[in-house]
Chain A
């Protein structure tokens, strides 16, 4: 028994080390924001400053990239969420001998490296005269994000009791009314979560975007180019802000989830 306890404590220690490993880099990055040094570092500490926030705010390129990222994310939502929902409904409804093949095809964007999705999208649209830019970025990202939406909607759809559908029809609803009033409200939480995930996936995407973004710049592309060329702690300031927004979002999400968990039965 005591060896088991030892293992258990060793594991606990490991978990602590693990989370330190997970967060230490972010803390270092955040701390470097306040270092009054030309380079982003914490060693040596050249004095505390807030001037990198000011420099960040004055950087027009950053604001343009942020705007582009938001436009792309919105576009991805518009394209990927309906596709993801439709695919989930399709998989939940249809039984056919072609289904395993279709299922593999539907999952394939998740298992394909992002760079390849970017490359194939870029090549395919060239023949139609569409070159890299915001439009292609939306299409490229939506290609695999739709599959994530599909997975999340499917997870909830599988728990749907289809007698509800029959009951609605039996009470005189048309199939559209059934979809609108019964199925869609049931799927709503999953669709909202999927939309949040889709937004984040789009916002943080780099590998696919890199190939299809053309001369436009999204925030991640902007950050990457800053890191590689004009390295300044202003990037850290941006990182810190993104971390804070993320943490706030995560807390809000958790609070909402706990509140919903208290509503019984649904």
Chain B
């Protein structure tokens, strides 16, 4: 690899490139992950006990999740809710992505894309906070619903999972719209026209032509959204607690309230496995590879 780099960039530059890449992949990406796994396999010991007879690999920290019914329930709730958030986001995003890619004029599309990006340049906390205001017990949503006579008493939106999911769909929509938009945009218009011409209706055209073409984009969007939802801390912390806790919050508590980093590392690794598992599943179902995802 150095030989190829040197042939193109000369020795010093090639060395610099490999050094930067090496530092990143080894010191910043790989070693910390391995260290985290190592941590998760060791018991939480006092500093004096480190290196002692008890400092050896064990699965105790993983057994904790298995034995703790509450944590287990939260783990599976996080899984199902994240899947639900992913599906909801997909349903909301697909029509928009299709409109932007195929129906809007170039000017309209450019404007819409700009409008889409603006909320996402503002951070996740503020995006979530705005829903906090709307969903508050005495907030505008309850007021409007009562004014319309749809409800008699205000609803406590902010204590269940529904609020969290609404906030998440809102927070991660861009990560679904953009990959799908990019994928649909690369579809030749003539294919759509040909399908119509051959008598395919709107639904059939989508099912047989557009969605198969957009598969890599849909897969990317789903993987990203699921990962963001399952790994979100801000949204459940603001919109859910204390009635609805997320797995990330438990991890956080192990680290900064329970003071048991080893236990926290085990939970974090389980979260990572969950995300990798979902990603592998999506990639298998959609028959796409890693190369299709990073576009």
- Which A residues have a C-beta under 8 Å from some C-beta of B? 3-4, 7-8, 11-12, 14-15, 18-19, 21-26, 28-29, 32, 40-43, 82-83, 86-87, 89-90, 93-96, 98, 100, 102-117, 119-124, 127, 139, 142-143, 146, 151, 165, 174-176, 179, 200, 203-207, 210-211, 220, 223-224, 227-228, 235-236, 239, 242-243, 246-247, 249-250, 254
Contacts and interface: CB of A to CB of B under 8 A. Distances in A.
Contact of B228 (A28, A107, A113, A123): A113
Contacts of A120: 32-33, 35-36, 268
Interface in B259-277: 261, 264-265, 268, 271-272, 275-276
Interface in B240-276: 248, 251-252, 255, 261, 264-265, 268, 271-272, 275-276
Nearest to B96: A18
Interface of B: 1, 4-5, 8-10, 12-13, 16-18, 20-21, 23-25, 28-33, 35-36, 39, 92, 95-96, 98-99, 103, 110, 112, 114-119, 121-127, 129-134, 136, 138-140, 143, 170, 173, 201-202, 223-224, 227-228, 230-234, 237-238, 248, 251-252, 255, 261, 264-265, 268, 271-272, 275-276, 279, 290-291, 293-294
B118 A247 contact: yes
A11 B95 contact: yes
A111 B129 contact: no
11 contacts: A28-B134, A83-B23, A86-B17, A93-B4, A96-B4, A115-B251, A176-B9, A179-B13, A207-B232, A223-B125, A236-B133
Pairs A-B, 6 closest by C-beta atoms? A113-B231, A204-B123, A175-B10, A25-B130, A120-B32, A124-B32
Contact of A22 (B21, B115, B265): B115
Main secondary structure of the interface of B (DSSP, over half): helix
Contacts of A104: 290
Given A107-B293, A165-B8, A223-B126, A32 B231 contact: no
Which of B1, B129, B132 has the most C-beta atoms of chain A within 10 angstroms of its own C-beta? B129
Main secondary structure of the interface of A (DSSP, over half): helix
A115 to B, nearest CB: 5
A204 B265 contact: no
Given A18-B96, A151-B294, 14 more contacts: A83-B24, A94-B4, A102-B25, A112-B275, A115-B251, A119-B265, A120-B32, A121-B32, A176-B13, A200-B121, A220-B123, A223-B129, A227-B132, A250-B114
A114 B252 CA distance: 13
Contacts of A26: 119, 122, 127, 130
Contact of A113 (B18, B117, B173, B227): B227
A92 B275 CA distance: 29
A3 B203 CA distance: 11
B150 to A, nearest CB: 16
B21 A86 contact: yes
Nearest to A206: B234
Contact of A87 (B9, B20, B92, B248): B20
A184 B56 CA distance: 50
Contact of B17 (A90, A117, A142, A223): A90
A206 B125 contact: yes
Which of B124, B265, B294 has the most C-beta atoms of chain A within 10 angstroms of its own C-beta? B294
A29 B130 contact: yes
